[in-house]
């Protein structure tokens, strides 16, 4: 699969105001930065139907899809572009896989794990925290780098 096949970009996050500027919403933050793509309007873990409906409306195949989301297994300041991978515990991605009945779509996984943490914090506890100004600057650089790669 080639990056050139991507025709639809969807970010995952949570729509409620209390989740604004949290690590779980970095996908939405990147789409805002790019001014290109669709922000899901459903809660993260229920993204599958939204994604499936958006693809059906545009008559696209899974390999035309790029999902942008946070990844607590990747350090802050890093990102990974991947295709055809398992959800690796990300419930929003797993819901998409379940609805599409395939994992053969693109994912831009934006790292949110603080590399300075001595003790590994559970993902659920970390991703709902507000992003510090310092980390926002780091994420903005990641958004720029990832956009250039795409």
Instruction: Note the pLDDT tens digit of each residue in 134-147.
Output: 999 999 999 999 99
Q: Which fold has domain 3-149?
A: Rossmann fold (3.40.50)
Overall pTM surpassing 0.85 (yes/no): yes
What is the average pLDDT across 108-118?
Answer: 85
**pLDDT-based confidence at 124, cuts 50/70/90?**
low
> Which DSSP string corresponds to 1-57?
--GGG--EEEE----SGGGTTBGGGHHHHHHHHHT-SEE--S-GGGHHHHHHHHHHH
Write out pLDDT tens, residues 59-92. Answer: 999 999 999 999 988 999 999 999 999 998 899 9
- Predicted confidence (pLDDT) at residue 1 exceeds the cutoff of 80: no
Q: Let me know if 24 is a catalytic residue.
A: yes
Q: Report helix, strand or coil for 149.
A: helix
Tokens describing residue 21: 């500027």
Domain spans of the chain? 3-149
Closest CA to 93 of 112, 113, 71: 71
Residue among 24, 28, 69, 90 flagged as catalytic = 24
């Amino acid at each position: 699969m080639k990056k050139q096949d991507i025709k639809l970009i969807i970010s995952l996050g949570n729509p409620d105001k209390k989740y604004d500027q949290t690590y779980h919403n970095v996908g939405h933050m990147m789409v805002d930065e790019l001014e290109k793509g669709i922000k899901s309007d459903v809660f993260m873990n229920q993204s599958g139907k939204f994604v499936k409906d958006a693809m059906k409306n545009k008559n696209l195949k899974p390999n035309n899809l790029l999902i942008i989301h946070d990844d607590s297994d990747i350090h802050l300041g890093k990102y990974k572009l991947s295709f055809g991978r398992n959800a690796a515990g990300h419930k929003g991605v797993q819901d998409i896989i379940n609805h599409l009945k395939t994992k053969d779509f693109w994912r831009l996984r934006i790292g949110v794990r603080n590399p300075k943490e001595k003790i590994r914090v559970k993902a659920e506890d970390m991703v709902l925290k507000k992003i510090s100004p310092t980390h926002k600057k780091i994420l903005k650089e990641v958004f720029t780098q990832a956009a250039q790669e795409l």
